[in-house]
Amino acid sequence: MTEDSRGEEPQETIPETTEAAPAPAVAPEAAAPGGVAPAPKKGLGTGAILGIVGGGLVVLVVLIVAIVFAISALRGIAGGGSPFAGGGSAEETAEGYLTAIADGDAEAALSFIYAPDSSSPLLTDDVLAASQELAPLTDIVIGEPDITGGYGLVPVTYSIGDTPVTTEISVSQDSDGWTVTGGTGQLSVYQLDGLEPTINGVPVSGEYVDAFPGAYEYGVTVDGFALEGETVIVVTAPSEYPDTSGMNAVLTPEAADAFRQAVSASVDACIVSTTLEAGCGLTIPATLSDGTVLTEGTISRTLPAETRAEIGAFQPELSYDVPTLVTGGYLGSVEVTAECTKDGATGTCSVLFGPSFGTPSMNLATDGAVVEWD
């Protein structure tokens, strides 16, 4: 503006182009009140970053602990509440296994065994309780294991009742830790087939049944039978097959008397027969070895005193293959007379060396059983 234009209104200059001015690359920020420019934005400080990372690690650790706890709970022992000891040492595994048996906790004992088969009727708390009552497992001492790779033997000593035991427990290691291999012995029951056997009061069947180390009492439930001899068997160590040959099935005195009476009644029915075929093993031929011909329907059989005494006092025996099959031994012979003909002469003959009784038998497990003769 010049001196000549003083007092006049200023004139605007119109630009020669109508294109809009380019927009700024960044929109300007609003001014702070009072004309003070705002402070520039700062990034997160080192402390904040460490705090966030640390918090994330805490969450991760908590999650890991929760997962481990959940897995442990799943592998825990139902009813006992004690977690599986996988991951412990070989010594701890052997001790935990034996302690569970001593405590009567079958499920806990099974949890220490590799791939256990819990189908045996003897692997229960009730059976272990009966076993502990017969002969408790006590005085457990664990030795230094002999480990080779993922396998080992743990020396142990303990007592089952008055029986001291020194043995080794076989263990193996996998991703879950140490477990007992084997872990159960086997008790034979095939020799009592048909007698409805029991062990520690529990019905058993088959040839063998698995059992923890401990004491076991055999019994039978078929009427008329009992066991004698060594009826309490001790499984002293895992994977043992104890000897049961010192135990035998026998008839009760009442059943033995009943069998003798049945045999006596069968004998009486046989000796009254007047025919050549009389049963009880007393059949005689029509023609004797010396040519004498006996007359059918005239045969008379009588019991000597010693034979009658034997029939009333013989000791029944049980078949090894079929324990319910009762047999009698040698009962004696009979005296025989008959009308006979020899060399054209006819009269009454006494048969020398008359027939002897056969072997009587009866299967007491069969309804309506009768005496049979061999």
Report residue 196: phi and psi, to 5°: 50, 65
Asked whether 165 and 237 are in contact (CB, 8 A), the reply is: yes
Residue 175's CB: how many other CB atoms inside 10 A? 6
Query: 58 by DSSP, 3-state: which?
Result: helix
Identify which of 336, 331, 335, 337 has the alpha carbon closest to the alpha carbon of residue 357: 331
Instruction: Give the CA distances from residue 285 to residues 267, 290, 291, in Å, rounded to whole numbers and listed in that order.
Output: 19, 12, 11
| Ranges of H-type helices in 75-124 | 90-102, 106-111
Instruction: Give the CA distances from residue 344 to residues 285, 340, 350, in Å, rounded to whole numbers and listed in that order.
Output: 19, 10, 17
Q: What angle do CA 26, 29, 32 make, to 5 degrees?
A: 165
Cα-to-chain-centroid distance, residue 323: 23
Q: Which residues contact 261 (CB under 8 A, 6 or more apart)?
A: none
Instruction: Give the CA distances from residue 361 to residues 44, 100, 151, 319, in Å, rounded to whole numbers and listed in that order.
Output: 101, 49, 55, 10
Asked whether 196 and 177 are in contact (CB, 8 A), the reply is: no
Q: What angle do CA 137, 226, 359 make, to 5 degrees?
A: 140
Query: 98 by DSSP, 3-state: which?
Result: helix
Its pTM stands at 0.70
Residue 299's CB: how many other CB atoms inside 10 A? 22
Mean pLDDT of residues grouped by 10 in the chain (374 residues)? 40 39 40 39 42 39 36 35 58 98 98 91 98 98 96 98 97 94 95 95 97 98 96 96 95 96 96 95 95 97 95 93 93 96 95 92 92 95
Report residue 78: phi and psi, to 5°: -60, 130
Report residue 183: phi and psi, to 5°: 90, -20
Asked whether 176 and 347 are in contact (CB, 8 A), the reply is: no
Tokens describing residue 367: 């309804």
Q: Quick one: CA dihedral 342, 348, 349, 355, positive or negative?
A: positive
Class of domain 90-182: alpha beta
Q: Where are the domains of the chain?
A: 90-182, 186-250, 253-373
Spatial distance between the Cα atoms of 193 and 245, rounded to a whole number of angstroms:
15
Q: Which residues contact 13 (CB under 8 A, 6 or more apart)?
A: none
Instruction: Give the CA distances from residue 302 to residues 280, 335, 355, in Å, rounded to whole numbers and listed in that order.
Output: 13, 5, 11
Can you name the residues that pair with 341 across neighbouring β-strands? Answer: 293, 346
Identify which of 143, 121, 371, 122 has the alpha carbon closest to the alpha carbon of residue 270: 371
pLDDT at residue 87, as a whole number: 53
Asked whether 287 and 294 are in contact (CB, 8 A), the reply is: yes
